[in-house]
Structure 1
Amino acid sequence: MASSPTLPRDPRRAALIAVVALAAIVLAALGAQALIAQIAGDRGIAPVAASGDIQVGGVEVDVTAKTAEEAREEGWREAMKLAWKKIGGPAIPDGQLYSMVSSVVIESEELGANRYIARLGVVFDRARAGGLLGRGEAVQHSAPLLLVPVLVTGGTQTVYEIRNPWQRAWAEYQPGASRIDYVRPTGAGSDSLLVTYGQTTRRSRTWWRNVLDQFGASDVLIAIADLDYQYPGGPVRGTFTARYGPDDTFLGSFSMTAPSQAALPRMLDQAVLRLNSMYEQALNDGKLKPDPTLNLGTPQIDPAIQRLIELGRAADAQERARAAAAAANDVAASPAPTPSETGAPAVVNSFTVQFPSPDAAAFEGAVASIRAAIGVRGGAVTSTAIGGVSVMNVSFAGDAAGLAAALKARGYNVRQSGNTLSISR
């Protein structure tokens, strides 16, 4: 029997297959690196520790002396006097003034043979200086507020994806003397995934509550710096905007210009101070009150509706009392029934509920529906997986069978395994 002829191999087809296979391998490797790069890398800038001391920055000195060391010492003493004058301190002897300084911060300096040019920050001890400045009294402070510093440049919005000068300006800001209780993430690890510019555009209270719970904050402040570089090394124009809350409420805006990129850090430091003043003014005006809709555990009820609920409960109690009295009259002549145990109040137990969350709307709907089930005392989301299966920890007055029945009454199909219930529509 004759064998079938072998077809000649097409070299172009073989080369195409090899190229496609190589491209697939490269894309898979890049995809894996991209997933790791979302949280890996040296991206975080730890904020400075807050203290209650009085800090004065941006004090410029230009001093000459016999030696560089003497010029530097004289420059520091001059900076202390200028800083004290800048915050409105009264006239006091130099020795007393120097004793109230806890530290000197070097923002920039240039040393010569007999000249010292610098921009310094001076920190006064509040315990010693507060009485002279009239700042020893208690003042109103805000609730803990999560700070989201957004940098807009070149059409790109950045928060913690990479280190940037706006993040650094807020990290280096000393908020001890501010009346705003800032919660400043470091930006490392999962912070770059939780706190993004896209998060500031969401209005979902469920999403915001999950983010705020991670940082122990009550609400959110959004500080936006929109930088326009005129040309490389040239002036930088910045537009700074203060916003507040999950609804991105506008509080104020202003513009500043740095003469060069080298002067950009100083402009950003000044912008941070002005934004802090805006937030303090908003606090004075009563605009920084925590949003009650972010507290999902205690929903707000209209007083009129609450009154109707109370009237309904009172009428129901009266009806039950009349029914009990009628039943007592009916059985008065009958033999007493065998005593039975008095029903004990239901014990609140904790259960795990798994539910599909293909999108944000389905996630929010499921969370609200589970919390509204009869007998549910509370529910906290422990794992959010949009496009997958999310998990809640549910407190229920009863056992697992009772919770399953309550969820079935809400229209769910329930599968039970011990204290874990899986639900679906």
Structure 2
Amino acid sequence: MTTFAATFRPTMDRPASWIAALGAFGLAIVAGTALIAQVSGDRGIAPVASSTDISIGGIEVNATGRNADDARRNGWLQAERKAWEKLGGPKMSDSDIDSMVSAVVIESEQIGPRRYIARLGVVFDRTKAGPMLSGQGGPAVRSAPMLTIPVLKSGGTYTVYEVRNVWQRAWAEYQAGRSAIDYVRPSGAGGDSLLVNYGQIGRRSRSWWRNVLDAFGAADVIVPVAQLDRQWPGGPVTGTFTARYGPDDRFLETFTLSARNEDEVPAMLNKAIARFDQIYTAALNAGHLRPDPSLRTDRVTLDPTVAALIAAERDAQSAEAAAAAAAAAAATAESAALPGETLPGPPPAAAVVNSFVVQFTTPSAAAVDSGLASVRGTPGVRGAATSSMAIGGVSVMRVSYGGDLAGLAAALRARGWTVNQSGNSLSISR
């Protein structure tokens, strides 16, 4: 210990900056470890492949037979008949119905020597059964792809993909083939837990939402919220479910279900998802579940008054630039003319548009929007778009400017930015 202390004690030969460098190196290691810990672990549940077949679940059967196998076979035929009746299909024999069944899903079962009690799901082949259902085999109109963020509130904590939970599992196992809603369900693995979390629900920045939706190929977002309240360990569980949608977290409907114990919670959640599907389908048919126009850059519209003010400011800037160019050309011609001679000045050359990289600090999503708006409004800037975004850090934008880098730096300083130039890029801050 004495040798270690003497080795790193600040002296003229070993300055204190060494200690600071070692400390920074240690912090970098800790930060990297913390980031890995946030995205690693067994947290993802991959959604099942949604089948386009016709699935009916939750069918209770109670059948008997000569033996256990015969009782089970009779129970399955009974489930197929009940499922066909539930679909509203025409009256058919058991053998004809059985010929259209592609699978029987066992949700729970009890098998006795001559008795079979179970809750089953029946999957009908759409090609065979669809034409006999008079259009009831599936939705006539489907929604745009909807990013589905299942939020669970349990024990006073809101979670999405931070840990595996029963609500995420229920949505991952949901067969949405017959639904009118195109559910986009992230697996929750890797960086999904960082990109999609409960904090994202409260963000209103359209730029940030567009980045999230583009990452999953979705057009809008729906948020089914489940709040589970347990009266005592192993006792009854009450679930309060709320359907919300859109980047503004709009409310649709709420309902309550209950389970007698923990073993019945999965069945309660499956029933809740079916109810959510009905709510979102009704909202789609009513015209409420259409993608928000502000989430599409080609559909964003400004208030006419604001648009007029922006146009007036641009016209004034153009007039000032033209006047300055004319004055510069006149001064150049006057200095080049002989005594007593006036030379006509050449027309000003058009500015060459160059592309530059600009870094800017973005402590919040609002800082991204305000930074882009300020740079886009700078005289001479022809366009600006983010190429890398880091909320809470430094983001990068690509700026098209009619001039050189020094001219862009001067124009940004005139807009109130603190500008630092490094090579062929700029770093700006407030």
Amino acid at match of 1:273: A
Structure 2 counterpart of 1:104, one-letter code: V
Q: Does 1:111 align with 2:116?
A: no
Call closer, same or farther: CA 1:352–1:104 in 2, change over 3 Å. Answer: farther
Q: Partner residue of 1:202?
A: 203
Q: Take 1:376 and 1:308, find their aligned partners in 2: how far apart are those partners?
A: 18
Compare 375-384 and 221-230 and name the one that shifted more: 375-384
Gaps of 5+ in 1: 1-26, 321-335
CA distance in 2, matches of 1:365, 1:46: 37
Separation in structure 2 between the aligned mates of residue 398 and residue 116 of structure 1, nearest angstrom: 82
Paired letter, 2:370: G
Corresponding residue for residue 134 of structure 1? 134
Q: Provide the rounded CA distance (Å) in 2 between the counterparts of 1:224 and 1:373.
A: 43
Contact 1:234 1:259 in 2 (8 A): yes
Return the letter of the residue paired with 1:181: D
Question: 1:211 & 1:166 partners in 2: Cα distance?
Answer: 21
Q: CA deviation at 1:153?
A: 1.5
The alignment partner of 1:151 has SS state of strand
CA contact (8 A) 2:240 2:256 kept: yes
Q: Deviations over 1:375-406 (max 9, x none)?
A: 333413513141x3222244556665565455
Residue by residue over 1:181-234, the C-alpha shift from the partner in whole angstroms, topping out at 9 and shown as x without a partner, is: 111111111111221122212233333233222222222111111111122222
Following superposition, the deviation at residue 163 of structure 1 comes to 0.9
User: What residue number does 1:17 align with?
Assistant: none
C-alpha displacement of 1:243: 0.6
Residue 357 (structure 1) aligns with: 362
Q: Name the counterpart of 1:16.
A: none
Does 2:339 correspond to 1:366? no
Counterpart residue identity of residue 64, structure 2: T
* SS, match of residue 220 in structure 1: strand
Q: Percent of aligned pairs with the same residue?
A: 56
**Partner-residue secondary structure (3-state), 1:120:** strand
Alpha carbons of structure 1 residues 359 and 304: separation in structure 2 relative to 1, 3 Å: closer
Q: Which deviates the most, 119-128 or 259-268?
A: 119-128
2:243 maps to what in 1? 242
Does the Cα contact within 8 Å between 1:218 and 1:290 map onto a contact in 2? Answer: yes
**Structure 1 residues 262 and 204: alpha-carbon distance in aligned structure 2, compared to 1, 3 A threshold:** same
Match of 2:167 in 1: 166
Q: For the Cα contact (< 8 Å) 2:105–2:122, is it kept in 1?
A: yes
Between 1:398-407 and 1:106-115, the stretch displaced more is: 398-407
Superposition pairs for residues 226-265 of structure 1, below 5 Å? 226-265=227-266
1:383 maps onto 2:378 in alignment: no
Q: Distance in 2 between matches of 1:309 and 1:367?
A: 15
| Counterparts of 1:200 and 1:237, CA distance in 2 | 24
Given the two structures, how large is their TM-score scaled by the length of structure 1? 0.78
How far the C-alpha of 1:31 sits from its partner, in A, is: 8.4
Q: What is the letter of the counterpart of residue 279 of structure 1?
A: Y
* In the alignment, structure 1 residue 85 sits paired with structure 2 residue 82: no
How do 1:11-30 and structure 2 match up within 5 A? none
- Is the Cα contact below 8 Å between 1:105 and 1:121 reproduced in 2? yes
Q: Is the 8 A contact 1:63 1:74 kept in 2?
A: yes
Cα distance in 2 for partners of 1:292, 1:227 equals 34
Alignment-mate amino acid for residue 383 of structure 2 = R
Q: What aligned pairs does 1:209-220 form with structure 2 within 5 A after superposition?
A: 209-220=210-221
Answer yes or no: is 1:392 the counterpart of 2:393: no
Unaligned runs of 5+ in 2: 1-26, 323-342
State the Cα distance separating 1:56 from its structure 2 match.
Answer: 0.7
Using the alignment, how far apart are the partners of 1:405 and 1:176 within structure 2?
A: 57
Q: 1:110 to 1:306 in 2, by over 3 A?
A: same
Aligned to 2:330: none
Q: Distance in 1 between matches of 2:173 and 2:367?
A: 41
Distance 2:347 2:230 in 1: 83
Alignment of 1:269-284 (within 5 A): 269-284=270-285
Deviation sequence 1:234-277 (CA, Å, 0-9, x none): 22111111011122111001111112211111110010010111
1:382–1:393 contact (8 Å) kept in structure 2: no
Contact 2:389-2:396 at 8 Å conserved across structures: yes
Q: Which amino acid aligns with 2:374?
A: S
CA RMSD of aligned residues (A): 3.6
Which letter maps to 1:178? S
Q: CA deviation at 1:30?
A: 9.5
Q: How many Å separate the matches in 2 of 1:313 and 1:394?
A: 18
In the aligned structure 1, how far is the partner of 2:146 from the partner of 2:134? Answer: 27
